[in-house]
């Protein structure tokens, strides 16, 4: 039978002995359990820092979410108070559809080019290389240009001034909440290689 009698002397311990239980009050069979628990606790506090999450641009908003919100708000306002801006004689549906298809093509081309280069498209993942081929030869932000054109195409197709107005807050959010942070991140990570690319290719067109 295990003797569990505890004296005042047994309860006196120092800070350095916290990871090792007092042998006089812990049965022999439980010492291994305490050691394994102390080892796991040490691994929690001594593990690697969040290096993966630090290696991003830390943008304020994800661009696809910002685009979807702009479209949703614009269509909702159009439903509440209709504000057409295209002349009735103009085939707005056809024109807007063509603009939207062109925007979608640019968007897809930019994503395919970046994926083939081996870099990540989502803004919450690290950029692994500077892509200079495909549409990136003409603009540093073809994906966002595709989003801008897509919003314009929808505004024309739906003949909605509200969707056109939503282009303003969306553009400001992308320019200052996304692009500005991405540029600082790329310059910090790639240095002269990015600065040379930035000097050759415009931000937009």
In angstroms and rounded to an integer, the radius of gyration of the C-alpha atoms of the chain is 29
Which of 121, 122, 153, 148 is CA-nearest to residue 203? 148
Rounded CA separation 64/123 (Å): 10
Task: Assign 29 a pLDDT band (cuts: 50, 70, 90).
Answer: low
Rounded CA separation 135/108 (Å): 10
Q: Which pLDDT does position 24 carry in this prediction?
A: 47
Q: Is the pTM of this model over 0.85?
A: no
Asked if residue 188 and residue 155 are part of one domain, the reply reads yes
In this predicted model, what pLDDT tens digit does every residue of 172-196 receive, in sequence order? 999 999 999 999 999 999 999 999 9
In this predicted model, what pLDDT tens digit does every residue of 58-84 receive, in sequence order? 999 999 999 999 999 999 999 999 999
Rounded CA separation 152/139 (Å): 19
Rounded CA separation 169/66 (Å): 9
Output the CA torsion sign for 156, 157, 162, 168: negative
Q: Which pLDDT does position 54 carry in this prediction?
A: 76
CATH number where 128 lies: 1.20.120.1630
Asked if residue 161 and residue 76 are part of one domain, the reply reads yes
Q: How far is CA 147 from the centre of its chain?
A: 16
- Other CB atoms within 10 A of residue 55 CB: 14
Asked if residue 83 and residue 18 are part of one domain, the reply reads no
Asked if residue 115 and residue 32 are part of one domain, the reply reads no
Please indicate whether residue 22 or residue 186 has the higher confidence score (pLDDT).
186
Quote the mean pLDDT of the chain: 83
Asked if residue 182 and residue 110 are part of one domain, the reply reads yes
In this predicted model, what pLDDT tens digit does every residue of 97-140 receive, in sequence order? 999 999 999 999 999 999 999 999 999 999 999 999 999 999 99
Residue 41 sits in which domain range?
Answer: 9-46
Provide the percentage of residues in the chain whose pLDDT is more than 70: 74
Rounded CA separation 173/60 (Å): 8
Does residue 148 lie in a domain region? yes
Task: Assign 53 a pLDDT band (cuts: 50, 70, 90).
Answer: low
Q: Is the pLDDT of residue 6 over 70?
A: no
Q: Which pLDDT does position 1 carry in this prediction?
A: 47
Does residue 111 lie in a domain region? yes
Asked if residue 140 and residue 188 are part of one domain, the reply reads yes
Rounded CA separation 191/185 (Å): 10
> What average pLDDT does this structure show over 143-158?
97
The two counts, helices (H) then strands (E), for the chain are 9, 0
Largest CA distance in the chain: 99
């Amino acid at each position: 039978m295990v003797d569990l009698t505890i004296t005042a002397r047994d309860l006196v311990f120092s800070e350095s002995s916290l990871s090792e239980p007092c042998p006089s009050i812990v049965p022999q069979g439980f010492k291994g359990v305490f050691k394994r628990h102390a080892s796991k606790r040490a691994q929690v506090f001594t593990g690697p820092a969040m290096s993966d999450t630090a290696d991003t641009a830390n943008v304020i908003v994800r661009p696809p979410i910002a685009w979807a919100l702009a479209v949703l708000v614009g269509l909702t306002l159009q439903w509440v108070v209709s504000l057409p801006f295209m002349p009735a004689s103009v085939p707005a549906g056809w024109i807007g559809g063509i603009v939207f298809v062109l925007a979608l093509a640019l968007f897809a081309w930019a994503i395919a080019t970046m994926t083939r280069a081996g870099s990540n498209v989502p803004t919450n993942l690290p950029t692994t290389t500077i892509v200079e081929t495909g549409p990136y030869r003409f603009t540093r932000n073809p994906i966002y240009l595709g989003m801008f054109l897509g919003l314009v195409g929808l505004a024309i197709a739906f003949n909605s001034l509200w969707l056109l107005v939503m282009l303003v807050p969306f553009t400001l959010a992308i320019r200052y909440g996304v692009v500005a942070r991405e540029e600082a991140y790329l310059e910090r990570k790639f240095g002269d290689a990015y600065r040379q690319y930035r000097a050759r290719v415009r931000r937009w067109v």
